[in-house]
Amino acid sequence: MNYIKKIFSPGCLTISIFLILYTFYKSEIIWNGEKRDYYLIYYIISIILIFFSILTFYLNQKIKYYLIISFVSIISFLYLVEFYFSFRSYLSSKELLLEETFSEKRTNEKYDKRTKLEIYNDLKKINNKISMVIYPRSHLKDKNKILPLSGISNSKTLFCNENGYYSIYKSDRYGFNNPDKEWDQNEIEYVLVGDSYTHGACVNRPNDIASVLRTLSNKSALNLGYYYNSPLIEYATLREYLTSNVKKVVWIYFSNDIIDLNDELNNKILKNYLNNNDFTQNLKSKQNEIDDLVFAKLQIKKKEREKALNSVRERQNKPSLLFIKFVKIYELRNLLFSSSRSEKKLLQEFRKILKSTKDLTSKKNSQLFFVYLPGYLHYKNNNNSNYLSVKKIVNELDIPFIDLYTEAFGKEQNLKKFFTSEGEHYNEEGYKRAAETIYKFTKSWKSN
């Protein structure tokens, strides 16, 4: 114990200095200072630990003894909690693997095991003009004069595989997942904005939400959704592409969109949409430039995938990676910091964005509808993240609220039949149920 007392203060100081240096490395070098808000809490903890470590040099041996006991107890408790959450996460992953096996047997389909890069290279040999989905968020850190809000136009676009096959769609004149003729309609019944669920991951037309709405209504529907979008990009998309011949605008909100909003608020171009009602990039007239930027990003992503593919395969399922995550208390930190970080502030920004969206749609003589869309894990774990907060904001803004959380899936005993084998997105049945609920609500809705 005497030896431990001697090394306690120098050890604490060494660890504290290492923590602040590591935090600086992650914040300023790895993330180029773009996630300082996230790492602020770690800076504060590190500085407190440094002052505490210096203080321990001047404490008497008895107090230092009790500090050591307390320190060991706290650390032991933290790692016990981390073990619990790590084990639970491991079991969830195993369960999803079992669900994937179940899905393959149920659908009697052979699952395409190729990576996206492998199938892209295979399809490229047949069609040189094929592209992959490059989401708008991937351009946020670029220093380009414009920020693309869509993909490459008039192109066969490779999307994703969660149903055993890779979904592919032909993009329209502006790079969205629509039949191009939808833009030529005299009147458009529906315009949809949202993230990957709205985009149509991972099914082919006519099984995405917009396509099902076209079938149900026998009217036009435009899909402006895109993978990994969050509220500010969705508002910017409406500012650029919403026309005055649209009857209904359907904002499809996924339950983690608030968290993803943080990165969008750091982009200068996107902030201009929020702070200046007259701001526009005139993206409709710049599709050739958008195509070039997205194609260039595609080449970068392709090289990154090629470089990382072997590394990922080598590291997959290695116990050492699980051990490193455990040592860094990964699961517990996510629970304490990531999920609740700045949520109050983000909700305030979300309210501002939604209010601006309502003003925009009113100006265009369109009716705005808000759809709350939770994922499978939110039902499975009974975790309806910020559901009540978002619903309160929508109701206060007097926007019709379509609650898929309760109306479409909440009463179902077997939710698996609506989701892909990975449990990430809807399958064809799930998209159909969502679209049917939206159609039924919007058809019967009457303004006060």
DSSP calls for 283-323 = GGGGHHHHHHHHHHHHHHHHHHHHHHHHHHHHHTT-HHHHH
User: Would you state the structure tokens that stand for residue 300, as one six-digit string?
Assistant: 């970068």
pLDDT value, residue 356: 98
- In the structure encoding, which two tokens stand for residue 96, read together? 């999803």
Kindly state the helix (H) or strand (E) to which residue 401 belongs, with its residue range. strand 401-403
Q: With CA atoms as reference, report the closest residue to 19 among 329, 331, 336, 342.
A: 329
Name residue 222's beta-bridge partners: 191
Element (H, E) at 156: strand 156-158
Contact 295, 131 (CB under 8 A): yes
Q: Within 13 A of 152's CA, how many CA atoms are on the CB side?
A: 22
Give the separation between CA 59 and CA 55, rounded to whole angstroms: 7
Residue bearing tokens 């107890």:
73
Q: In 3D, which of 252, 207, 243 has the Cα closest to residue 418? A: 207
Question: Which stretches of 246-382 are assigned E, i.e. beta strand?
Answer: 246-254, 367-373
Whole-number pLDDT of residue 339: 45
pTM beyond 0.85: the answer is no
Residue 95's pLDDT is 46
Q: What DSSP character marks residue 191?
A: E
CATH class for domain 116-444?
alpha beta
What are the boundaries of each domain within the chain? 2-59, 116-444
- Contacts of residues 356-360 at CB distance under 8 Å and 24 or more positions apart, as own/partner, are 356/235, 356/274, 356/277, 357/234, 357/235, 357/238, 357/249, 357/251, 358/397, 358/399, 360/235, 360/238, 360/239, 360/242
Closest alpha carbon to 385 in 397, 400, 375:
375
What are the residue ranges in the chain where pLDDT is below 50? 93-108, 312, 315, 339-341
Contacts for 250 with CB less than 8 Å, ≥ 6 apart: 190, 191, 192, 193, 369, 371, 402, 438, 442
